Structure 1
Protein backbone atom coordinates (compact mmCIF):
# COMPACT_ATOMS: atom_id res chain seq x y z
CA UNK A 1 0.00 0.00 0.00
CA UNK A 2 1.25 3.45 -0.92
CA UNK A 3 -0.28 6.85 -0.22
CA UNK A 4 1.43 9.96 -1.49
CA UNK A 5 -0.14 13.39 -1.12
CA UNK A 6 1.33 15.03 -4.22
CA UNK A 7 0.01 18.49 -3.34
CA UNK A 8 -2.39 19.84 -0.75
CA UNK A 9 -3.79 23.29 -0.11
CA UNK A 10 -5.72 26.08 -1.79
CA UNK A 11 -3.30 26.18 -4.74
CA UNK A 12 -3.96 22.57 -5.74
CA UNK A 13 -4.76 19.09 -4.45
CA UNK A 14 -3.90 15.61 -5.69
CA UNK A 15 -3.35 12.34 -3.80
CA UNK A 16 -1.97 9.08 -5.20
CA UNK A 17 -3.21 5.84 -3.64
CA UNK A 18 -2.00 2.36 -4.56
CA UNK A 19 -3.60 -0.70 -2.99
CA UNK A 20 -3.32 -4.29 -4.26
CA UNK A 21 -1.59 -3.09 -7.46
CA UNK A 22 -4.48 -0.73 -8.31
CA UNK A 23 -3.45 2.90 -8.71
CA UNK A 24 -5.77 5.87 -8.25
CA UNK A 25 -5.65 9.62 -8.00
CA UNK A 26 -7.99 11.48 -5.70
CA UNK A 27 -8.44 14.90 -7.34
CA UNK A 28 -6.28 16.50 -10.01
CA UNK A 29 -5.95 20.10 -8.93
CA UNK A 30 -2.37 20.58 -10.12
CA UNK A 31 -1.05 20.58 -13.67
CA UNK A 32 -0.71 17.32 -15.56
CA UNK A 33 3.00 18.08 -15.87
CA UNK A 34 3.33 18.27 -12.07
CA UNK A 35 1.26 15.12 -11.63
CA UNK A 36 3.53 13.28 -14.07
CA UNK A 37 6.71 14.62 -12.44
CA UNK A 38 5.45 13.74 -8.95
CA UNK A 39 4.48 10.23 -9.99
CA UNK A 40 7.85 9.77 -11.70
CA UNK A 41 9.54 10.81 -8.44
CA UNK A 42 7.77 8.01 -6.54
CA UNK A 43 8.39 5.42 -9.25
CA UNK A 44 4.96 5.39 -10.90
CA UNK A 45 3.93 6.23 -14.45
CA UNK A 46 0.91 8.40 -15.09
CA UNK A 47 -0.08 5.96 -17.84
CA UNK A 48 -0.59 3.30 -15.15
CA UNK A 49 -3.26 5.27 -13.24
CA UNK A 50 -6.49 3.25 -13.24
CA UNK A 51 -8.85 6.09 -12.39
CA UNK A 52 -9.31 9.59 -10.96
CA UNK A 53 -11.79 10.20 -8.13
CA UNK A 54 -13.10 13.76 -7.88
CA UNK A 55 -14.27 15.08 -4.51
CA UNK A 56 -15.89 18.28 -5.84
CA UNK A 57 -15.69 20.82 -8.64
CA UNK A 58 -13.62 23.63 -7.09
CA UNK A 59 -10.68 24.55 -9.28
CA UNK A 60 -8.00 23.59 -6.76
CA UNK A 61 -9.25 20.01 -7.14
CA UNK A 62 -9.79 19.80 -10.92
CA UNK A 63 -7.40 22.27 -12.58
CA UNK A 64 -5.25 19.52 -14.12
CA UNK A 65 -8.14 17.38 -15.25
CA UNK A 66 -8.52 18.65 -18.83
CA UNK A 67 -5.01 17.80 -20.03
CA UNK A 68 -4.84 14.65 -17.92
CA UNK A 69 -7.97 13.15 -19.48
CA UNK A 70 -7.28 14.36 -23.00
CA UNK A 71 -3.70 13.12 -23.07
CA UNK A 72 -3.96 9.87 -21.11
CA UNK A 73 -7.64 8.88 -21.49
CA UNK A 74 -7.93 7.97 -17.79
CA UNK A 75 -11.49 7.39 -16.54
CA UNK A 76 -12.59 9.99 -14.00
CA UNK A 77 -15.48 9.61 -11.55
CA UNK A 78 -17.58 12.39 -10.02
CA UNK A 79 -21.15 12.95 -8.91
CA UNK A 80 -23.47 14.11 -11.73
CA UNK A 81 -24.01 17.52 -10.11
CA UNK A 82 -20.25 17.87 -9.73
CA UNK A 83 -19.71 17.25 -13.43
CA UNK A 84 -22.47 19.72 -14.27
CA UNK A 85 -20.92 22.42 -12.08
CA UNK A 86 -17.33 21.92 -13.25
CA UNK A 87 -15.92 24.90 -15.16
CA UNK A 88 -14.04 22.67 -17.64
CA UNK A 89 -16.75 20.07 -18.25
CA UNK A 90 -17.46 21.18 -21.82
CA UNK A 91 -13.92 20.43 -23.03
CA UNK A 92 -13.42 17.06 -21.30
CA UNK A 93 -13.51 13.87 -23.39
CA UNK A 94 -16.97 12.41 -22.93
CA UNK A 95 -15.77 8.81 -22.71
CA UNK A 96 -13.63 9.64 -19.67
CA UNK A 97 -16.36 11.33 -17.60
CA UNK A 98 -18.02 8.68 -15.46
CA UNK A 99 -20.88 9.12 -12.98
CA UNK A 100 -19.79 8.24 -9.46
CA UNK A 101 -22.18 5.69 -7.91
CA UNK A 102 -22.57 4.93 -4.21
CA UNK A 103 -20.15 2.02 -4.56
CA UNK A 104 -17.80 0.86 -7.28
CA UNK A 105 -14.72 -1.25 -7.78
CA UNK A 106 -11.68 -0.24 -9.78
CA UNK A 107 -9.20 -3.06 -10.10
CA UNK A 108 -8.92 -4.57 -6.63
CA UNK A 109 -10.06 -1.47 -4.74
CA UNK A 110 -13.62 -1.07 -3.54
CA UNK A 111 -14.59 2.60 -3.37
CA UNK A 112 -17.40 4.10 -1.32
CA UNK A 113 -17.95 7.86 -1.55
CA UNK A 114 -19.64 9.61 1.36
CA UNK A 115 -21.27 13.03 1.58
CA UNK A 116 -19.43 15.89 3.23
CA UNK A 117 -20.52 19.41 4.15
CA UNK A 118 -18.89 21.98 1.85
CA UNK A 119 -20.05 24.80 -0.39
CA UNK A 120 -20.00 22.76 -3.58
CA UNK A 121 -22.64 21.01 -5.69
CA UNK A 122 -22.41 17.49 -4.23
CA UNK A 123 -19.07 17.12 -2.44
CA UNK A 124 -17.81 13.75 -1.22
CA UNK A 125 -15.02 12.08 0.65
CA UNK A 126 -13.83 8.57 -0.14
CA UNK A 127 -13.22 5.35 1.73
CA UNK A 128 -11.24 2.73 -0.13
CA UNK A 129 -10.87 -0.94 0.73
CA UNK A 130 -8.45 -3.57 -0.56
CA UNK A 131 -7.68 -6.78 1.26
CA UNK A 132 -7.64 -5.96 4.97
CA UNK A 133 -6.65 -2.32 4.42
CA UNK A 134 -8.79 0.81 4.51
CA UNK A 135 -7.87 4.33 3.41
CA UNK A 136 -10.17 7.33 3.88
CA UNK A 137 -9.99 10.83 2.42
CA UNK A 138 -11.97 13.74 3.89
CA UNK A 139 -10.92 17.29 3.07
CA UNK A 140 -12.87 20.47 2.34
CA UNK A 141 -15.56 19.92 4.94
CA UNK A 142 -17.10 22.41 7.32
CA UNK A 143 -17.76 19.96 10.12
CA UNK A 144 -17.65 16.26 10.85
CA UNK A 145 -21.09 14.68 10.61
CA UNK A 146 -21.90 11.21 11.97
CA UNK A 147 -21.65 9.99 8.36
CA UNK A 148 -18.10 11.30 8.09
CA UNK A 149 -17.13 9.92 11.49
CA UNK A 150 -18.39 6.48 10.52
CA UNK A 151 -16.58 6.67 7.17
CA UNK A 152 -13.28 7.51 8.87
CA UNK A 153 -13.57 4.82 11.53
CA UNK A 154 -11.09 1.94 11.57
CA UNK A 155 -8.97 3.35 8.76
CA UNK A 156 -5.36 2.31 8.38
CA UNK A 157 -4.63 5.66 6.74
CA UNK A 158 -6.62 8.91 6.78
CA UNK A 159 -6.15 12.05 4.72
CA UNK A 160 -7.98 14.54 6.95
CA UNK A 161 -8.37 18.29 6.61
CA UNK A 162 -6.64 20.49 9.19
CA UNK A 163 -7.16 23.77 7.37
CA UNK A 164 -6.77 26.63 9.80
CA UNK A 165 -6.04 27.89 13.27
CA UNK A 166 -9.16 29.72 14.41
CA UNK A 167 -7.32 32.63 16.05
CA UNK A 168 -5.02 33.12 13.07
CA UNK A 169 -8.05 33.18 10.80
CA UNK A 170 -9.99 35.61 12.99
CA UNK A 171 -7.03 37.99 13.31
CA UNK A 172 -5.77 37.58 9.75
CA UNK A 173 -6.13 39.70 6.64
CA UNK A 174 -9.04 37.89 4.99
CA UNK A 175 -12.24 39.93 4.54
CA UNK A 176 -14.96 39.09 7.04
CA UNK A 177 -17.25 37.37 4.48
CA UNK A 178 -14.43 34.95 3.63
CA UNK A 179 -13.64 34.29 7.29
CA UNK A 180 -17.33 33.49 7.84
CA UNK A 181 -17.35 31.11 4.88
CA UNK A 182 -14.26 29.23 6.11
CA UNK A 183 -15.59 28.93 9.68
CA UNK A 184 -19.10 27.92 8.58
CA UNK A 185 -20.54 24.40 8.52
CA UNK A 186 -19.89 24.37 4.76
CA UNK A 187 -16.36 25.73 4.94
CA UNK A 188 -13.15 24.15 6.19
CA UNK A 189 -12.06 22.13 9.22
CA UNK A 190 -9.97 23.83 11.91
CA UNK A 191 -6.95 22.22 13.57
CA UNK A 192 -8.93 21.71 16.76
CA UNK A 193 -11.77 20.04 14.85
CA UNK A 194 -9.30 17.64 13.23
CA UNK A 195 -7.79 16.83 16.63
CA UNK A 196 -11.12 16.12 18.29
CA UNK A 197 -12.28 14.08 15.31
CA UNK A 198 -9.24 11.84 15.60
CA UNK A 199 -9.65 11.58 19.35
CA UNK A 200 -13.28 10.44 19.07
CA UNK A 201 -13.27 8.22 15.98
CA UNK A 202 -12.94 4.45 16.28
CA UNK A 203 -9.36 3.58 15.38
CA UNK A 204 -7.32 0.51 14.61
CA UNK A 205 -4.31 -0.30 16.75
CA UNK A 206 -2.20 2.05 14.62
CA UNK A 207 -3.44 4.76 12.26
CA UNK A 208 -1.47 7.02 9.94
CA UNK A 209 -3.00 10.46 9.47
CA UNK A 210 -2.07 13.03 6.83
CA UNK A 211 -3.10 16.51 7.99
CA UNK A 212 -4.23 18.06 4.72
CA UNK A 213 -5.41 21.24 3.00
CA UNK A 214 -3.49 23.50 5.38
CA UNK A 215 -4.09 27.20 4.77
CA UNK A 216 -0.93 29.09 3.87
CA UNK A 217 -2.42 32.29 5.28
CA UNK A 218 -4.15 31.01 8.43
CA UNK A 219 -2.09 28.04 9.56
CA UNK A 220 1.43 26.71 9.90
CA UNK A 221 2.41 23.04 9.54
CA UNK A 222 3.99 22.86 12.98
CA UNK A 223 0.96 24.57 14.55
CA UNK A 224 -1.44 22.10 12.95
CA UNK A 225 0.68 19.18 14.12
CA UNK A 226 1.11 20.55 17.65
CA UNK A 227 -2.60 21.35 18.06
CA UNK A 228 -3.76 17.93 16.90
CA UNK A 229 -1.01 16.17 18.88
CA UNK A 230 -1.91 18.02 22.09
CA UNK A 231 -5.59 17.04 21.85
CA UNK A 232 -4.75 13.41 21.13
CA UNK A 233 -2.19 13.21 23.93
CA UNK A 234 -4.58 14.80 26.43
CA UNK A 235 -7.16 12.18 25.46
CA UNK A 236 -4.74 9.36 26.27
CA UNK A 237 -3.56 8.57 22.74
CA UNK A 238 0.07 7.47 22.40
CA UNK A 239 1.47 9.36 19.43
CA UNK A 240 3.74 7.29 17.25
CA UNK A 241 2.22 4.09 18.59
CA UNK A 242 -1.54 4.52 18.11
CA UNK A 243 -1.51 7.48 15.73
CA UNK A 244 1.28 8.79 13.51
CA UNK A 245 0.79 12.28 12.08
CA UNK A 246 2.10 13.32 8.65
CA UNK A 247 2.12 16.88 7.34
CA UNK A 248 1.28 17.86 3.75
CA UNK A 249 2.46 20.79 1.66
CA UNK A 250 1.44 22.73 -1.48
CA UNK A 251 4.72 22.11 -3.35
CA UNK A 252 6.09 18.97 -1.70
CA UNK A 253 5.17 15.28 -1.77
CA UNK A 254 4.26 13.61 1.53
CA UNK A 255 4.29 9.84 1.36
CA UNK A 256 3.82 6.57 3.15
CA UNK A 257 4.54 3.03 2.00
CA UNK A 258 3.34 0.09 4.06
CA UNK A 259 3.46 -3.60 3.27
CA UNK A 260 1.00 -6.02 4.87
Structure 2
Protein backbone atom coordinates (compact mmCIF):
# COMPACT_ATOMS: atom_id res chain seq x y z
CA UNK A 1 0.00 0.00 0.00
CA UNK A 2 1.23 3.48 -0.86
CA UNK A 3 -0.12 7.02 -0.63
CA UNK A 4 0.57 10.50 -2.01
CA UNK A 5 -0.87 13.96 -1.41
CA UNK A 6 -2.03 16.26 -4.22
CA UNK A 7 -2.10 19.20 -1.83
CA UNK A 8 -2.84 19.88 1.83
CA UNK A 9 -4.13 23.05 3.44
CA UNK A 10 -7.03 25.49 3.60
CA UNK A 11 -6.99 26.02 -0.19
CA UNK A 12 -7.63 22.37 -1.00
CA UNK A 13 -6.96 18.80 0.13
CA UNK A 14 -6.67 15.51 -1.73
CA UNK A 15 -4.83 12.28 -0.94
CA UNK A 16 -4.42 9.23 -3.17
CA UNK A 17 -4.25 5.78 -1.54
CA UNK A 18 -3.32 2.73 -3.60
CA UNK A 19 -3.19 -0.99 -2.87
CA UNK A 20 -2.32 -3.89 -5.16
CA UNK A 21 -3.08 -7.59 -4.92
CA UNK A 22 -2.00 -10.00 -7.63
CA UNK A 23 -3.05 -8.49 -10.95
CA UNK A 24 -5.45 -5.92 -9.49
CA UNK A 25 -4.86 -2.41 -8.16
CA UNK A 26 -7.27 -0.27 -6.15
CA UNK A 27 -6.79 3.49 -6.15
CA UNK A 28 -8.99 5.89 -4.18
CA UNK A 29 -9.05 9.62 -3.61
CA UNK A 30 -9.54 10.86 -0.06
CA UNK A 31 -11.09 14.34 -0.29
CA UNK A 32 -11.39 16.36 -3.47
CA UNK A 33 -10.85 19.97 -2.47
CA UNK A 34 -9.90 21.24 -5.94
CA UNK A 35 -11.69 21.95 -9.19
CA UNK A 36 -11.83 19.04 -11.63
CA UNK A 37 -9.33 20.79 -13.90
CA UNK A 38 -6.89 21.42 -11.05
CA UNK A 39 -7.30 17.88 -9.78
CA UNK A 40 -6.41 16.55 -13.23
CA UNK A 41 -3.31 18.74 -13.25
CA UNK A 42 -2.20 17.48 -9.87
CA UNK A 43 -2.95 13.83 -10.65
CA UNK A 44 -0.79 14.14 -13.75
CA UNK A 45 2.20 14.63 -11.44
CA UNK A 46 1.63 11.04 -10.36
CA UNK A 47 1.22 9.92 -13.98
CA UNK A 48 -2.52 9.32 -13.53
CA UNK A 49 -5.80 10.71 -14.80
CA UNK A 50 -9.16 10.84 -13.05
CA UNK A 51 -10.14 7.67 -14.92
CA UNK A 52 -7.51 5.80 -12.88
CA UNK A 53 -9.50 6.31 -9.68
CA UNK A 54 -11.87 3.66 -8.32
CA UNK A 55 -13.69 5.80 -5.74
CA UNK A 56 -13.75 9.15 -3.95
CA UNK A 57 -14.05 9.36 -0.15
CA UNK A 58 -14.94 12.57 1.67
CA UNK A 59 -14.12 13.44 5.28
CA UNK A 60 -16.62 16.34 5.61
CA UNK A 61 -18.43 19.08 3.73
CA UNK A 62 -16.05 22.04 3.99
CA UNK A 63 -15.12 23.40 0.57
CA UNK A 64 -11.41 22.59 0.85
CA UNK A 65 -12.39 18.92 1.13
CA UNK A 66 -15.55 18.48 -0.96
CA UNK A 67 -14.50 20.71 -3.90
CA UNK A 68 -15.48 19.07 -7.20
CA UNK A 69 -16.34 15.65 -5.75
CA UNK A 70 -19.93 15.59 -6.99
CA UNK A 71 -18.82 16.73 -10.45
CA UNK A 72 -16.23 13.95 -10.58
CA UNK A 73 -18.71 11.36 -9.36
CA UNK A 74 -21.23 12.30 -12.06
CA UNK A 75 -18.85 12.84 -14.99
CA UNK A 76 -16.63 9.80 -14.41
CA UNK A 77 -19.23 7.53 -12.76
CA UNK A 78 -17.12 7.28 -9.61
CA UNK A 79 -18.57 5.83 -6.41
CA UNK A 80 -18.73 8.49 -3.73
CA UNK A 81 -18.26 7.53 -0.05
CA UNK A 82 -19.14 9.79 2.90
CA UNK A 83 -21.19 9.94 6.07
CA UNK A 84 -24.94 10.52 5.86
CA UNK A 85 -24.52 13.90 7.56
CA UNK A 86 -21.94 14.98 4.97
CA UNK A 87 -24.15 13.69 2.15
CA UNK A 88 -27.07 15.78 3.43
CA UNK A 89 -24.84 18.84 3.86
CA UNK A 90 -23.60 18.77 0.25
CA UNK A 91 -26.78 17.49 -1.39
CA UNK A 92 -25.29 14.15 -2.38
CA UNK A 93 -28.31 12.37 -0.94
CA UNK A 94 -30.49 13.70 -3.75
CA UNK A 95 -27.86 14.06 -6.49
CA UNK A 96 -27.42 11.75 -9.43
CA UNK A 97 -24.35 10.01 -8.00
CA UNK A 98 -23.39 6.52 -6.84
CA UNK A 99 -23.52 7.34 -3.13
CA UNK A 100 -22.21 4.93 -0.49
CA UNK A 101 -22.92 5.94 3.11
CA UNK A 102 -20.18 5.31 5.65
CA UNK A 103 -20.75 4.83 9.37
CA UNK A 104 -18.16 5.40 12.06
CA UNK A 105 -16.27 2.25 13.10
CA UNK A 106 -17.85 0.15 10.33
CA UNK A 107 -15.28 -1.13 7.82
CA UNK A 108 -16.01 -0.80 4.12
CA UNK A 109 -14.25 -2.80 1.41
CA UNK A 110 -13.21 -1.04 -1.80
CA UNK A 111 -11.32 -3.47 -4.00
CA UNK A 112 -8.03 -4.34 -2.30
CA UNK A 113 -8.53 -1.70 0.41
CA UNK A 114 -10.23 -1.98 3.77
CA UNK A 115 -11.49 1.45 4.82
CA UNK A 116 -12.25 2.12 8.49
CA UNK A 117 -13.94 5.50 9.10
CA UNK A 118 -13.97 6.91 12.61
CA UNK A 119 -15.70 9.89 14.18
CA UNK A 120 -13.87 13.03 15.31
CA UNK A 121 -14.78 16.38 16.90
CA UNK A 122 -14.86 19.06 14.17
CA UNK A 123 -17.25 21.85 13.23
CA UNK A 124 -18.99 19.89 10.49
CA UNK A 125 -22.23 17.91 10.29
CA UNK A 126 -20.87 14.35 10.61
CA UNK A 127 -17.11 14.39 10.00
CA UNK A 128 -15.07 11.23 9.60
CA UNK A 129 -11.38 10.45 9.46
CA UNK A 130 -9.92 7.22 8.14
CA UNK A 131 -7.63 4.25 8.59
CA UNK A 132 -6.77 2.33 5.42
CA UNK A 133 -5.44 -1.22 5.29
CA UNK A 134 -4.40 -3.68 2.60
CA UNK A 135 -4.43 -6.53 5.11
CA UNK A 136 -0.75 -6.15 5.96
CA UNK A 137 -0.20 -2.42 6.56
CA UNK A 138 -2.24 0.38 8.12
CA UNK A 139 -2.33 4.03 7.09
CA UNK A 140 -3.90 6.47 9.54
CA UNK A 141 -5.29 9.88 8.55
CA UNK A 142 -6.16 12.63 11.04
CA UNK A 143 -6.86 16.14 9.79
CA UNK A 144 -9.59 18.66 10.64
CA UNK A 145 -10.06 17.82 14.29
CA UNK A 146 -10.20 20.07 17.31
CA UNK A 147 -8.93 17.90 20.12
CA UNK A 148 -7.73 14.42 20.97
CA UNK A 149 -10.06 11.69 22.18
CA UNK A 150 -9.40 8.17 23.47
CA UNK A 151 -11.16 6.90 20.36
CA UNK A 152 -8.68 8.70 18.10
CA UNK A 153 -5.77 7.21 20.03
CA UNK A 154 -7.27 3.74 19.69
CA UNK A 155 -7.84 4.12 15.95
CA UNK A 156 -4.35 5.41 15.13
CA UNK A 157 -2.26 3.22 17.39
CA UNK A 158 -0.23 0.59 15.57
CA UNK A 159 -0.28 2.31 12.18
CA UNK A 160 2.61 1.89 9.75
CA UNK A 161 2.16 5.42 8.39
CA UNK A 162 0.37 8.49 9.68
CA UNK A 163 -0.79 11.76 8.11
CA UNK A 164 -1.35 14.10 11.06
CA UNK A 165 -2.78 17.61 11.12
CA UNK A 166 -0.44 20.33 12.42
CA UNK A 167 -2.62 23.28 11.54
CA UNK A 168 -1.27 26.14 13.59
CA UNK A 169 1.24 27.40 16.08
CA UNK A 170 -0.65 28.73 19.09
CA UNK A 171 1.50 31.88 19.41
CA UNK A 172 1.20 32.71 15.72
CA UNK A 173 -2.56 32.22 15.80
CA UNK A 174 -2.92 34.42 18.90
CA UNK A 175 -0.89 37.20 17.22
CA UNK A 176 -2.59 36.93 13.83
CA UNK A 177 -4.96 39.48 12.31
CA UNK A 178 -7.82 36.97 12.33
CA UNK A 179 -10.98 38.13 14.15
CA UNK A 180 -11.21 36.81 17.69
CA UNK A 181 -14.20 34.68 16.74
CA UNK A 182 -12.19 32.91 14.03
CA UNK A 183 -9.24 32.41 16.37
CA UNK A 184 -11.60 30.83 18.89
CA UNK A 185 -13.09 28.53 16.25
CA UNK A 186 -9.72 27.37 14.93
CA UNK A 187 -8.27 26.83 18.39
CA UNK A 188 -11.42 25.34 19.90
CA UNK A 189 -12.32 21.73 20.58
CA UNK A 190 -14.10 21.46 17.22
CA UNK A 191 -11.51 23.37 15.23
CA UNK A 192 -8.00 22.36 14.19
CA UNK A 193 -4.98 20.84 15.90
CA UNK A 194 -2.07 23.01 16.95
CA UNK A 195 1.46 21.69 16.60
CA UNK A 196 1.58 20.96 20.32
CA UNK A 197 -1.78 19.17 20.26
CA UNK A 198 -0.65 17.03 17.32
CA UNK A 199 2.54 16.17 19.19
CA UNK A 200 0.44 15.23 22.21
CA UNK A 201 -1.62 12.81 20.13
CA UNK A 202 1.51 11.30 18.59
CA UNK A 203 2.99 10.79 22.06
CA UNK A 204 -0.07 8.77 23.13
CA UNK A 205 0.03 6.35 20.19
CA UNK A 206 1.55 2.91 19.89
CA UNK A 207 4.32 3.85 17.43
CA UNK A 208 6.06 0.47 17.31
CA UNK A 209 5.21 0.00 13.61
CA UNK A 210 5.37 3.64 12.53
CA UNK A 211 7.62 4.08 9.48
CA UNK A 212 6.26 7.39 8.12
CA UNK A 213 4.83 10.49 9.80
CA UNK A 214 3.66 13.45 7.70
CA UNK A 215 2.61 16.82 9.10
CA UNK A 216 -0.41 18.01 7.13
CA UNK A 217 -3.01 20.77 6.75
CA UNK A 218 -0.60 23.51 7.85
CA UNK A 219 -2.00 27.03 7.92
CA UNK A 220 -0.06 29.29 5.59
CA UNK A 221 -0.81 32.26 7.87
CA UNK A 222 -0.46 30.73 11.33
CA UNK A 223 2.24 28.10 11.07
CA UNK A 224 5.68 27.33 9.68
CA UNK A 225 6.85 23.91 8.46
CA UNK A 226 9.84 24.00 10.78
CA UNK A 227 7.63 24.56 13.83
CA UNK A 228 5.47 21.55 12.97
CA UNK A 229 8.57 19.47 12.31
CA UNK A 230 10.11 20.44 15.65
CA UNK A 231 6.94 19.53 17.56
CA UNK A 232 6.67 16.04 16.06
CA UNK A 233 10.40 15.40 16.09
CA UNK A 234 10.47 16.12 19.81
CA UNK A 235 8.14 13.18 20.40
CA UNK A 236 10.04 10.81 18.13
CA UNK A 237 13.48 11.82 19.37
CA UNK A 238 14.69 12.61 15.88
CA UNK A 239 15.87 15.70 14.02
CA UNK A 240 13.22 18.04 12.65
CA UNK A 241 14.43 17.64 9.07
CA UNK A 242 13.38 13.99 9.09
CA UNK A 243 9.70 14.92 9.52
CA UNK A 244 7.92 15.23 6.17
CA UNK A 245 5.50 18.11 5.61
CA UNK A 246 2.62 18.06 3.12
CA UNK A 247 2.54 21.37 1.25
CA UNK A 248 -0.42 23.20 -0.23
CA UNK A 249 1.00 23.36 -3.73
CA UNK A 250 2.84 20.04 -4.04
CA UNK A 251 1.49 17.80 -1.30
CA UNK A 252 4.05 14.98 -1.22
CA UNK A 253 5.14 12.18 -3.54
CA UNK A 254 4.41 8.48 -3.09
CA UNK A 255 5.27 6.92 0.24
CA UNK A 256 5.19 3.18 0.81
CA UNK A 257 3.52 2.08 4.05
CA UNK A 258 6.08 -0.70 4.25
CA UNK A 259 8.93 1.75 4.81
CA UNK A 260 11.07 3.28 2.09
TM-score computed with the length of structure 1 as normaliser: 0.91
Query: Partner of 1:257 in structure 2?
Result: 255
Displacement, 1:28?
0.4
User: Equivalents in 2 of 1:66, 1:4: separation in Å?
Assistant: 22
Q: Distance in 2 between matches of 1:161 and 1:142?
A: 10
Kept in 1, the 8 Å contact 2:159–2:209? The answer is: no
Q: Tell me the equivalent position of 1:217.
A: 221
- What secondary structure sits across from 1:105 in the alignment? strand
Q: Equivalents in 1 of 2:99, 2:127: separation in Å?
A: 16
Residue 135 of structure 2 is aligned to residue 131 of structure 1: yes
- Structure 1: segments with no counterpart, 5+ residues: none
Mapped to 1, the partners of 2:204 and 2:94 lie a distance apart of: 43
Q: Is the 8 A contact 1:7 1:30 kept in 2?
A: no
- Could you tell me which residue of structure 1 aligns to residue 96 of structure 2? 93
Mapping 1:1-260, distance limit 5 Å: 1-20=1-20, 21-86=25-90, 89=92, 92-94=95-97, 96-101=98-103, 102-233=106-237, 238=238, 245-258=243-256, 260=258
Matched positions, count = 252
Alpha-carbon displacement from aligned partner over 1:212-249 (angstroms, at most 9, x marks no partner):
1101110011221122213432xxxx469xx9521011
Contact map agreement 1:165 1:191 (CA 8 A) in 2: yes
Q: Normalization by structure 2: what TM-score?
A: 0.91
Q: Structure 1 segments of 4 or more deviating over 6 A?
A: none
**Matched residues in 2 for 1:23 and 1:29: separation?**
17
1:2 touches 1:255 (CA, 8 Å); kept in 2? no
Superposed CA RMSD = 1.9
CA contact (8 A) 1:208 1:244 kept: no
Gaps spanning 5+ residues in structure 2: where? none
Q: 3-state DSSP class of the match of 2:155?
A: helix
Cα separation, 2, equivalents of 1:221 and 1:168: 13
1:209 aligned counterpart, secondary structure: strand
